[in-house]
Structure 1
Amino acid sequence: MAGLTAAALATVGFLAYQAQSSVPEELVGRPGPSATPAASAAKAPRDRRHPTALPAHSGAGERVVYSVDDDRVWLVSAGGTVENTFKVTPGSVDPAPGTYAVTSRSKAVTGTDGVPVEHVVRFADVQGVVVGFSAAVDQSTPDEDTDGADPGVKTGGVRESRADGEAMWMFATIGQKVVVIR
């Protein structure tokens, strides 16, 4: 009996968490970010109980949300449901908070750090450095990419695992909204 009660409580807790992260923003009165990258510089509040929960003030509608402070991405459906969330490892250049759009994609290229990458989804340009999500074919992260890479080269690649890169590739087509928050 105690085992069933514990299982029931765990299930209810999980469902409550899922329900909390899938409430459409328009129902809770959260304002979206401005359309300019310089806007939205304030750090979005985080749910301390659920650090992977979608931050408040992260926009509305279907979008990719990227937190440069938390190194985390959320793929959010049109109804506000978090379809996926995962940790990322940024390059040396971060985009300013604001709203962007996916401008180009490449199935496979060599990153600015010399590492073969796949599922490249580009969305910003920071002083001539292109910023985008990608997955290293060898599963390395920018911190590990020291063999032959020039440490003085500025990189805009936001690295994901290969599985997360595939999810991003399927979700973020040309024109997809990308909201960058602190």
Structure 2
Amino acid sequence: MTTEIRHIVFDIGKVLIHYDPHIPFSRIIPDETERNWFFANVCTHDWNIEQDRGRTWEEAEALLIGEHPEREEQIRAFRKHWHEMVSHAYLDSVAIMEGLIEDGHDVTMLTNFASDTFREAQEMYPFLKRPRGVTVSGDVRLIKPDLAIYTTHTESFGLEPSATVFIDDSLANVEGAKAAGWQALHFTGADKLKADLAGLGIRAAA
């Protein structure tokens, strides 16, 4: 029998707010082939995730500029225009989260996010200040799906793993939560999330 859920943990990017680096870069590098090359070879996912792990933007930019000096302006544009990448909130998902909080559920957040850009996101989207708290990967210098970040979140917020459900758009992060003893839901949209929560006995009004 499934343990009763007492703690609900939300991911942020692509669950509560949109994220797409192509938004500003479609203007900065208009040619799609060149832009795709840039993200595959310069400002890559692996490069960006190190900022989520706590590396400073200064270090990150210096590293790439050393390798691609002719791309300096484009490299610096990644951080400079970051706010454009988080272009909008997923209002239906936000409504679910806020409804859960208002209904008295214990809601926290666990996110792979650079420390500074997360604080900017909170100013852009004040609903990110509503849950009881958040573990930001850049603050704790750990990233999902490493087991250690789930353990850190559990200990920081006094969660019982088996009574915790985690909501994330990344299957790897969902599996990481399960490995930590949590229950977990793969987010693909608000309607499915409501149905999945209902299956766990949690009514989400939105």
Q: Do the structures match in fold with TM over 0.5?
A: no
Give TM-score scaled by structure 2 length. 0.22
Question: TM-score, length-normalised on structure 1?
Answer: 0.24
Q: Greater strand share, 1 or 2?
A: 1
**Greater fraction of residues in helix:** 2
Q: Which has the higher contact order (CA 8 A, sep 6+)?
A: 2
